[in-house]
A and B are shown apart, each in its own frame.
Chain A
Amino acid sequence: DIVVTQSPDSLAVSLGERATINCKSSQSVSHSSCNGNCLAWYQQKPGQPPKMLIYWASTREFGVPDRFVGSGSGTDFTLTISSLQAEDVAVYYCQQFIDSPPRFTFGPGTTVDIK
């Protein structure tokens, strides 16, 4: 099974500063069916379901602010929030969806807070 890990577990960033979250997959998630990489990023606020932010590792979902940037390939990925806003306080998850039979494993999450 593909294992997905994230770092750090949590981080606190000043408003307007950059937040960087790392995601690592135990196996490559590169595949042509995913326009490159079968990896997505989600944001979850308290009491709400996760919301997709980024898919195929670097494509923003419709309506997601451009301060959210996904990058990486193969086994190593990054979500960057270029200028943290108060409404970005949340837990962020990465998720792979390449395996067959499917497991669709999520990372453990990274909590982002205001310093």
Chain B
Amino acid sequence: QVQLQQSGPGLVKPSQTLSLTCVISGDSIFNNNVAWNWIRQSPSRGLEWLGRTYYRSKWYNDYAISVKSRMTINPDTSQNHFSLQLNSVTPADTAVYYCARGKDSGFDSWGQGTLVTVSS
């Protein structure tokens, strides 16, 4: 049974960097059949997929157009976790952020969610 445990600060100042980590247990970050995703949820935008990292003999990343210029997802193979960094945040980035495992069937396992508020 895969479990995803998120960690990171709940308050970030405008223009700074939002950083979150998702620790994977019960699966390997090298699993060739899945991707590791970040998704956020806010009242204004609903559920919004942000990006993913996945391993297919080498590492690949995909990002949503809306955040592509500001976002980085990094796998940490030694710790079996992956991280999100979102630069130059504004109040519009306030949301609950989730990590999730993606398969060819959808997102089958989710982290517990982290409410991130962007405010000075």
Q: Do A and B come from one complex?
A: yes
Contact, CB under 8 Å: A104 / B46: no
| Given known A50-B107, A55-B106, contact A102–B46 (CB-CB < 8 A) | no
Main secondary structure of the interface of B (DSSP, over half): strand
Known: A49-B110, A102-B62. A34 touches B46 (CB 8 A): no
Shortest C-beta distance, A36 to chain B (Å), equals 11
Within 8 A of A (CB), among B83-118: 98, 100, 102, 104-108, 110-113
Name the prevailing secondary structure of the A interface residues: loop
| Closest chain A residue to B46, Cβ basis | A108
Do B104 and A33 have beta carbons less than 8 Å apart? yes
B11 part of interface (Cβ distance < 8 Å): no
Contacts of B105 in A (CB 8 A): 34, 40, 52, 55-56, 59
B110 proximity list for chain A (CB < 8 A): 49-51
Within the complex, the shortest CB–CB distance from A51 to chain B, in Å, comes to 7
Total contacting residues, chain B, CB less than 8 A: 20
| A45 beta carbon closer than 8 Å to chain B | no
Question: Most B CB atoms within 10 A — which of A61, A95, A102?
Answer: A102
Which A residues are CB-close (under 8 A) to B37?
104
Q: Which residues of B contact A (CB under 8 A)?
A: 37, 46-49, 52, 62, 64, 98, 100, 102, 104-108, 110-113
Top 10 A-B pairs ranked by shortest CB distance? A40-B106, A55-B105, A49-B110, A106-B47, A104-B49, A55-B106, A52-B108, A49-B113, A102-B62, A49-B98
Known: A40-B105, A50-B98; 13 extra A-B contacts, CB below 8 A, are: A40-B107, A42-B107, A49-B111, A49-B113, A50-B107, A51-B110, A52-B106, A59-B105, A95-B47, A101-B62, A102-B49, A106-B49, A109-B46
Residues of A bordering B, CB below 8 Å: 33-34, 40, 42, 48-52, 55-56, 59, 61, 93, 95, 97, 101-106, 108-109
